């Protein structure tokens, strides 16, 4: 095991532990929000895997979140006998399949801005299809999703209330670690090379489109996993989850925290969760503050908060030395 | 059957011109500043809400000329906002990566939506078209609402005006020069920054005007901008980014497709257009009228 991985595991462990402490000190409303933040962290990391990791800008990430959430909700309502963990895997795969179908078509011709708009159009299509499909509850969504049970044979553990919160934190920590490993694997480095110089990497013999498609699918799987874990937590899945404003969220988190660092989007999601909590009662203010915040970050601090902190830290060290 | 065809063509035309009104300013900014402006949908809505507020203040039912005047005022106000946006934001985006510029305009759209929610709330608002436009013409078996005809005429007028402006006026020619090669234009001593500013103001004014013209017959809600924006994006992309003529033709084409789709699958409005958009992009990612790089006209 190399040192970087050990350090990352320690960091993720600390972060997870901090999240696990929330129910001890805060009321259930805050715990609910903390669970959503944990889920959003993985959602944002999956988006940044594409943006910072492979140079693909997605404006349609909500479609994967929706794929996972609706698959989970549908299984939980119509086929509760299927084990929860199996459903989770199926839901995550649904995002991967969606990503493959879309990416197979879109990556063939489009790149850059065109690709971004295609993702937007495709997710809009998914949103419309959901609002018009009876089996998915149309505009009302699916309600009454139960908190799941896990276990083998007669040994069963009901993930109710705070227990499901613990499950969220653990699963999302593992998912984040898995994403870290992917980013730092040879494949991750190859994608980085493609991002930096597409042409040169293809001269070196890499099939650029196939690797980008792989990145797209991995990103789709993790975004769908986030959606699948979210469904039993909020116990309702509505078409809002597929709306394009949902696709803004990971962009916002990642840019706020800093896209060039792996954990930047996580920091952004946490900060944004706090901001959201602070402005929750003021209609319109939430949109406005997040918009202004995002503008300021893009125009003034392109490295995001984490980039800024690291830069300040480095300058201080240099001043000392 | 004849009536059906008439209905489809008419419906498609109405979709096309409403979308073109929004897309005109969008394609203008893209052609010259090379920024795909998400906020366009936001300022379109600002224009619509402004027009709504003015018409309410005038007591509701207004004449057709007042209606047009109100739309022009909305355009002027939003155009003035364009000055602010260009100076504070767009100017800084010129040296930024495409993806970041795209995200910045997205952020600006959120600010617009937030501002509208703060000022006007989430409620649906609606106003009736002016008295003179609140009837219908009977052409054979076809029932054509006069307001829809009005929108179609407006779309054509805006298109012709833009073409004339670009081809005949000195400012229009300067804009085209900058669109073609901003670096060279600067070398020749042209004030490129000023021309950018003019472009942004015209584009924003078009957004405000479109909002003001389309405000009647629409359920006005903060969602509206997104719907029109997505349609306009499609038109701009299919037409070839930056080409006004391309956007006009793309609007006509996508309008007919959407209209035919709407008749065949009335339960899924809006889907045909998206499928057609994806299909056209895959066949011709560079757009209908451009050869490779985005080029003016």
Q: Extract the tokens encoding B189.
A: 């001593």
> B96, A298: Cβ pair inside 8 Å?
yes
Closest C-alpha to B106, from A296, A242, A295: A295
Q: Extract the tokens encoding A97.
A: 């399949």
**Cβ of B144 under 8 Å from any chain A Cβ?**
no
**Cβ of B227 under 8 Å from any chain A Cβ?**
no
**How far out from the chain centre does Cα A23 lie?**
23
Partner A, chain B 90-119, Cβ-Cβ below 8 Å: 92-93, 96, 98-100, 102-104, 106-119
Out of A108, A244, A298, closest to residue B103 by CB: A298
Give the DSSP letter of residue A148.
P
Residue B165 belongs to a domain:
yes
Q: How far is CA B235 from CA A121, B47, B180, B255, in A?
A: 12, 21, 21, 9
Closest C-alpha to B235, from B181, B159, B141, B136: B159
Closest C-alpha to B50, from B133, B58, B153: B58
Q: List, as own/partner pairs, every contact residues B213-216 make where C-beta atoms lie below 8 angstroms and the sequence separation is at least 24, other chains included.
A: B213/B21, B213/B68, B213/B71, B213/B151, B213/B154, B214/B18, B214/B21, B214/B22, B214/B48, B214/B151, B215/B48, B215/B51, B215/B52, B215/B55, B215/B71, B215/B127, B216/B67, B216/B127, B216/B128, B216/B129, B216/B130, B216/B133, B216/B147
Overall number of domains in chain B: 1
Integer Cα distance of A256 and A246 in angstroms: 16
Residue B297 belongs to a domain:
no
CA end-to-end distance (rounded Å), chain A: 32
Integer Cα distance of B38 and B76 in angstroms: 20
Q: What is the pLDDT of residues A127-142, one digit of tens each?
A: 888 988 888 888 888 8
Phi, psi of B240 (to 5 degrees): 95, 115
Domain span at residue B257?
Answer: 2-283
pLDDT for res B293: 42
Residue B288 belongs to a domain:
no
Note down pLDDT in tens along chain B; length 297 residues. 555 788 888 888 998 999 999 999 999 998 888 888 889 999 999 999 999 999 988 887 778 888 999 999 999 999 999 999 999 999 888 877 777 888 889 889 989 988 988 888 777 777 777 777 777 777 777 778 888 889 999 999 999 999 999 989 999 999 988 888 888 999 998 899 999 999 999 999 999 999 999 988 777 877 778 778 888 888 888 887 678 898 999 999 999 988 888 888 777 777 777 778 777 777 776 666 654 444 333
Domain locations along chain A: 3-242
> B110, A294: Cβ pair inside 8 Å?
yes
pLDDT for res A296: 86
Residue B296 belongs to a domain:
no
**ipTM value greater than 0.85:** no
Say what the pTM is: 0.84
Residue B159 belongs to a domain:
yes
H helix intervals, chain A: 3-25, 28-54, 62-78, 84-109, 112-132, 162-183, 186-196, 198-203, 208-234, 244-257, 264-278, 285-300, 304-320
User: What per-residue string of b and e applies to A67-86 under the rule 16 or more CB within 10 Å gives b?
Assistant: bbbbbbbbbbbeeeeeebee
| CATH assignment at residue B189 | 1.10.3470
> B107, A122: Cβ pair inside 8 Å?
no
Give the DSSP letter of residue B220.
B
SS3 A152: strand
Closest C-alpha to B12, from B272, B275, B207, B206: B272
Q: Which residues contact B177 (CB under 8 A, 6 or more apart)?
A: B185, B190
Residue numbers in chain A where pLDDT is lower than 70: 1, 109-111, 152-154, 282-284, 321
**Cβ of B266 under 8 Å from any chain A Cβ?**
no
Residue B82 belongs to a domain:
yes
């Amino acid at each position: 095991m190399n040192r970087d991985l050990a350090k990352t595991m320690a960091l993720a462990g600390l972060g997870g532990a901090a999240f696990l402490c929330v129910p001890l000190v805060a009321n259930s409303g805050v715990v609910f929000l903390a669970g959503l933040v944990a889920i959003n962290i993985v959602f944002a990391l999956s988006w940044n895997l594409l943006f910072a990791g492979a140079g693909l800008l997605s404006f349609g990430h909500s479609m994967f979140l929706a794929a996972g959430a609706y698959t989970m909700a549908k299984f939980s309502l119509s086929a509760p006998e299927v084990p929860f963990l199996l459903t989770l895997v199926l839901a995550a795969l649904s995002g991967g399949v969606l990503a493959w179908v879309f990416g197979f078509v879109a990556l063939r011709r489009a790149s850059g801005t065109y690709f971004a708009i295609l993702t937007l159009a495709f997710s809009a299509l998914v949103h419309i299809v959901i609002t018009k499909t009876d089996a998915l509850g149309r505009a009302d969504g699916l309600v009454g999703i139960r908190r799941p049970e896990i276990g083998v044979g007669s040994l069963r553990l009901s993930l109710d209330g705070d227990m499901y919160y613990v499950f969220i934190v653990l699963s999302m920590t593992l998912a984040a670690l898995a994403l870290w490993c992917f980013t730092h694997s040879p494949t991750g480095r190859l994608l980085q090379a493609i991002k930096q110089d597409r042409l040169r990497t293809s001269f070196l013999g890499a099939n650029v489109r196939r690797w980008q498609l792989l990145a797209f699918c991995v990103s789709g799987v993790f975004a769908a996993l986030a959606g699948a874990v979210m469904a039993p937590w909020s116990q309702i899945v509505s078409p809002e989850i597929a709306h394009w404003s949902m696709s803004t969220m990971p962009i916002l988190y990642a840019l706020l925290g800093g896209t060039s660092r792996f954990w930047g989007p996580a920091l952004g999601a946490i900060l944004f969760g706090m901001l959201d909590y602070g402005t929750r009662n003021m209609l319109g203010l939430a949109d406005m503050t997040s918009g202004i915040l995002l503008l300021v970050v893009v125009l003034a601090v392109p490295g995001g908060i984490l980039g800024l902190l690291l830069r300040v830290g480095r300058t201080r060290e240099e001043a000392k030395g | 059957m004849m009536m059906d065809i008439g209905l489809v063509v008419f419906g498609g035309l109405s979709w096309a011109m409403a979308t073109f009104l929004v897309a005109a300013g969008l394609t203008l900014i893209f052609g010259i500043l090379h920024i795909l402006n998400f906020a366009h949908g936001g300022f379109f809505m600002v224009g619509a809400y402004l027009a709504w507020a003015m018409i309410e203040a005038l007591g509701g039912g207004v004449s057709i000329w007042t209606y047009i005047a109100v739309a022009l005022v909305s355009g002027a106000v939003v155009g003035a906002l364009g000055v602010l946006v260009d100076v504070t934001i767009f100017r800084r985006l010129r040296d930024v990566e495409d993806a970041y510029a795209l995200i910045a305009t997205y952020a600006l759209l959120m600010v617009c939506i937030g501002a509208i929610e703060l000022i006007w709330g989430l409620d649906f608002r609606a106003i009736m078209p002016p008295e003179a436009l609140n009837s219908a013409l009977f052409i054979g078996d076809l029932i054509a609402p006069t307001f829809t005809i009005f929108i179609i005429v407006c779309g054509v007028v805006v298109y012709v005006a833009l073409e004339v402006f670009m081809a005949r006026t000195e400012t229009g020619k300067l804009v085209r020069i900058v669109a073609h090669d901003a670096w060279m234009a600067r070398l020749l001593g042209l004030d490129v920054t000023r021309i950018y500013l003019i472009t942004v103001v015209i584009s924003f004014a078009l957004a405000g005007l479109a909002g003001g013209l389309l405000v009647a017959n629409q359920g006005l809600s903060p969602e509206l901008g997104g719907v029109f924006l997505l349609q306009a994006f499609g038109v701009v992309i299919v037409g070839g980014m930056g080409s006004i003529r391309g956007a006009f033709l793309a609007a006509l084409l996508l309008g007919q497709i959407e209209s035919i789709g709407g008749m065949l699958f009335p339960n899924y409005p809006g889907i045909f257009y998206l499928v057609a958009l994806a299909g056209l992009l895959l066949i011709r990612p560079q757009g209908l009228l451009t050869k490779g790089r985005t080029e003016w006209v």
